[in-house]
Amino acid sequence: MMETIILAGGRGTRLSEETHIKPKPMIHIGGKPIIWHIMNIYDTYGFKEFFIALGYKGEVIKEYFLNYCNMHSDLSISLKTGEINAYKKCPHDWKVHLVDTGSDTNTGGRILRLKKNLKGETFMLTYGDGIANVHLKNLLKFHRSHRKIATITAIRPVARFGEVKFNVNEVVEFREKHQIEAGWINGGFFILEPSIFDYIKDDDTDFEQQILPRLAKDNQLMAYKHDGFWQCMDTLRDKLYLEGLWKKNNAPWKIWES
């Protein structure tokens, strides 16, 4: 089973309305933490083993998974002995490794700290605040076809505002939010070879600003272009947008069965 790292240790300062009491991956969309949504995306394609790189308020994520099965089960509890019996199977057969990677460690450093926990094989990596309907099996097929160290999923973000086109001062077209026609950006959902660790020096290494440019310079970085849905949850506006899609039963990232 291929392993998946989820970076879940950042402070999420732009969502301070909620992150003052919980880490960003634990902010709810549709009554479930966004990390639950991310893990369901991977589960849909058969990827069920996760290494969650903890940092800021990591104990909240630990508590969530420690209680996960019991919270989804009917329970009998002996108050005298403390014995607990669950009468419903856990809804997921995930294997979840919760690893403290430091409160102030940079993204590359968090990956490096997990080296000792991994099998030493190809692995997946994503962020704990981004969701998409990326076809992960096609992503993996693409990665295996080029034999490079790293594959990045490139996306074109949705424009924040509608676009107005003019003929002098006359409006000739008004288009609501649409994908930007040019300019691909990092959408996460990486696949990496173990040799990626040769590029990471220490806790202070920034994966995005230091490692990805070096990989590109060495011709070791390929892009899987994803034209479908993608959205990160950086701000309260983003959270409300995702919450609205979920409530309308129009969440493109929900590719799993209920």
pLDDT above 90 for 232: yes
Partners of 194 in the beta sheet? none
Strands, DSSP E only, in the chain? 3-8, 28-29, 32-33, 49-54, 75-77, 84-86, 95-100, 123-127, 130-132, 150-155, 163-167, 170-175, 185-186, 190-192, 221-226, 230-232
Q: If pLDDT is split at 50, 70 and 90, which confidence band does 182 have?
A: low
Quote the crossing angle between the two packed helices 34-44 and 136-146, to the nearest 10°: 70
Mean predicted confidence (pLDDT) in 178-186 = 70
Mean pLDDT over residues 55-78, rounded? 91
Segment 68-91 mean pLDDT: 85
Enter the DSSP assignment of 251.
Answer: -
pLDDT tens sequence across 95-146: 999 999 999 999 999 999 999 999 999 999 999 999 999 999 999 999 999 9
pLDDT computed for residue 157 by the predictor? 80
Note whether 137 and 206 are within 8 A (CB): no
Supply the pTM of this predicted model: 0.90
pLDDT grade for 171, boundaries at 50, 70 and 90: low
Flag whether pLDDT at 62 surpasses 90: yes
Could you tell me the residue ranges of all domains in the chain?
3-247
- For residues 56-69, give the mean pLDDT: 93
pLDDT of residue 28: 96
Mean pLDDT of the chain: 90
Least confident of 49-58, 157-166, 181-190: 157-166
Indicate whether 79 pLDDT > 70.
yes
Residue 200 to residue 206: CA distance in whole angstroms: 9
Domain 3-247: which CATH number of 3.30.360.30, 3.90.550.10, 2.30.30.280, 1.10.540.10: 3.90.550.10
Taking the C-alpha atoms of residue 69 and residue 59, their distance in angstroms, rounded to an integer, is 17
